[in-house]
Chain A
Amino acid sequence: MRHLYTWASILAVVACSTIGDVLISHAMKRVGDVGHVWNHHGTATVIRRMMSNGQLWLGVFFMALGFFSLMFALSWADVSLVAPASASLTFLTNAIAAKFFLRENVDRRRWVAALLVACGVVLIAG
């Protein structure tokens, strides 16, 4: 039962962080390059574009949900399992989600990078 709770909460962390990252990334592409907009249209435009972007708020909400799931997971299992497991899985799910939902060009180079970093995180935290 403990294993079930631990892994269910780790999966919740991974799902919420991935959804949050994808929504925020999509929202920020619609806002436009912040530095560029800042220089050409001023600070007020940057703030207005960001504040009026519902997707950005939804993304932040999912990030917060992911954070609370992490707290929940930590109350069931050791940080040495929860942190690397959720971080490394998130690298992989983000690559998949970015390819299908954000239509990013996830070529072999990026797959290899995501895989190497995911394995590296597991080793470094282990």
Chain B
Amino acid sequence: MSFRKLATLAGVVVFGSAGDVCLKRGMTHFGEITLGNWHVLIQAIFTPWVAIGILLLILFFANYLSALSFADLTYVLPATSIGYIGMALLARFFLHEQISPFRWAGILLIAVGVGFIARGPSLTVEASPAANLPVPEPLARGKA
């Protein structure tokens, strides 16, 4: 897999996790939001943490769309679940939260799952519904 594609998958992980953290941090200032005080949501959009969170989630979505343009859905989703591990480790080392043995077991399962998927091909070429996919690089070189 090329550097560009790896960077796109990394972008999905990093922007997704960072966006969630920023939104969570921003929204804790507003307490519970119900149908009765929904207008608080609009106020929230203009606060720095929520605004940064939304911006990061837009970048996440752009990377996610780009990733799905070159890799299978069943490749992208497990591969980018490595973000769950990153979040847990960030919580442990930066926020000093305790990680229970159950959580460590969860981290291990996700890591093994990502390892499984990373060793296989990222795209189903022959059965792909798309007709206008670019020719894979090794094939293109072989023909030339």
Contact = CB atoms under 8 A, between A and B. Distances in A.
A107 interface: yes
- Size range of the interface on B? 35 or more
A113 B65 contact: no
Secondary structure at the B interface, as helix, strand, loop or mixed, is helix
Contacts of B74: 94-95, 98-99, 104, 106, 110, 114
Contacts of A94: 73-74, 77
A56 B62 CA distance: 13
A30 B132 contact: yes
Contact of A22 (B66, B73, B116, B127): B73
Interface in A1-57: 21-22, 24-26, 28-37, 50, 56
B28 to A, nearest CB: 13
Contacts of B77: 21, 91, 94, 114, 117
Given A21-B73, A103-B127, A103-B128, A34 B112 contact: no
A99 B75 CA distance: 12
A28 B127 contact: no
7 contacts: A25-B73, A29-B130, A32-B134, A35-B5, A104-B127, A113-B114, A115-B113
